[in-house]
């Protein structure tokens, strides 16, 4: 089709996610298999890469914007713009789980954090006693400086005794069959179980060089 030398691309094909170091395809295909196609970057500079008429340009491309060009009867045509995003993903999946404390009283807010290091795209699932009732609130912070880490925070407001149990996060690698599981045990008590009875006043005076004992009964 001389009026449309580039096969129209789907919107989802214009955003290309690729793992660091992996080759990828910029899928600008022509309706004429003999067309001469050039790949240019956002600075309109030509990029050397292998061209396959059935796939597009194949190679290891830096992150950024790319466009294909071709000439038909002396007229220049441009393809849609393709955006390449390089994601960091290691073959290992370092994960840590952390709870500020593991013993709570009824009514307090439980906070558990799961951190995934050196990977930008993972599938993370939480398992915890209140999951069936969707009691937890989940927040994600994507931190890139000084190093890459995904911080998933699970918050359980107004905890009850029923929230006692295993809190587990399972991280799955975006492209590889790698999973990592970490858990922490949380206990929620109906009420406080420590009673303190100080045997002194809120304000005490002591003379210079005087030795004075402060006694507290603990039950």
pTM: 0.61
User: At the top level of CATH, which class does the domain 11-87 belong to?
Assistant: mainly beta
Residues 156-167: tens digit of each pLDDT: 999 999 999 999
Same CATH fold assignment for domains 11-87 and 95-189: yes
- For the chain, the average pLDDT equals 91
For Cα atoms 132, 135, 141, give the angle at the middle one, nearest 5 degrees. Answer: 115
Residues 71-111: tens digit of each pLDDT: 988 889 999 999 998 887 777 789 999 999 999 999 999 99
Domain locations along the chain: 11-87, 95-189
Max CA separation in the chain (angstroms)? 105
Q: CATH assignment of 95-189, given 2.30.30.60, 3.40.50.1240, 2.60.40.10, 3.30.420.10?
A: 2.60.40.10
**Whole-number Cα distances in Å, 185 to 97, 122, 179:** 11, 24, 20
Q: Mark 95-126 as b/e (b = at least 16 C-beta within 10 Å).
A: bebebeeeebeeebebbbbbbbeebbebebee
The sign of the torsion formed by the CA atoms of 34, 65, 120, 48 equals positive
DSSP code, position 165: E
pLDDT at 56: 93
Segment 209-213 mean pLDDT:
93
Distance between CA 184 and CA 167 in Å, rounded? 5
Q: Per the structure block, which two tokens stand in for 19?
A: 């793992």
Distance between CA 157 and CA 78 in Å, rounded? 54
């Amino acid at each position: 089709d001389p009026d449309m030398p580039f096969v129209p691309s789907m919107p989802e094909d214009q955003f290309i996610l690729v793992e660091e170091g992996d080759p990828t395809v910029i899928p600008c295909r022509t309706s004429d298999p003999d067309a001469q196609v050039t790949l240019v970057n956002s600075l309109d500079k030509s990029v050397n890469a292998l061209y396959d008429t059935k796939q597009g340009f194949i190679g290891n491309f830096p992150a950024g914007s790319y466009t294909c060009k071709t000439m038909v009867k002396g007229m220049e045509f441009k393809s849609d713009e393709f955006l390449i995003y390089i994601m960091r993903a290691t073959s290992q999946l370092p994960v840590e789980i952390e709870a500020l404390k593991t013993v709570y009283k009824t009514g307090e807010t439980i906070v558990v954090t799961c951190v995934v290091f050196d990977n930008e795209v993972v599938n993370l699932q939480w398992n915890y006693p209140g999951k069936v009732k969707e009691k937890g609130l989940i927040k994600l912070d994507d931190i890139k400086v000084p190093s890459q880490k995904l911080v998933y925070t699970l918050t359980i407001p107004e905890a009850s005794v029923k929230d006692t149990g295993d809190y587990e996060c399972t991280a799955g690698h975006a492209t590889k069959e790698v999973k990592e599981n970490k858990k922490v045990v949380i206990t929620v008590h109906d009420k406080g179980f420590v009673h303190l009875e100080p045997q002194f006043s809120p304000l005490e005076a002591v003379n210079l060089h005087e030795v004075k004992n402060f006694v507290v009964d603990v039950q």
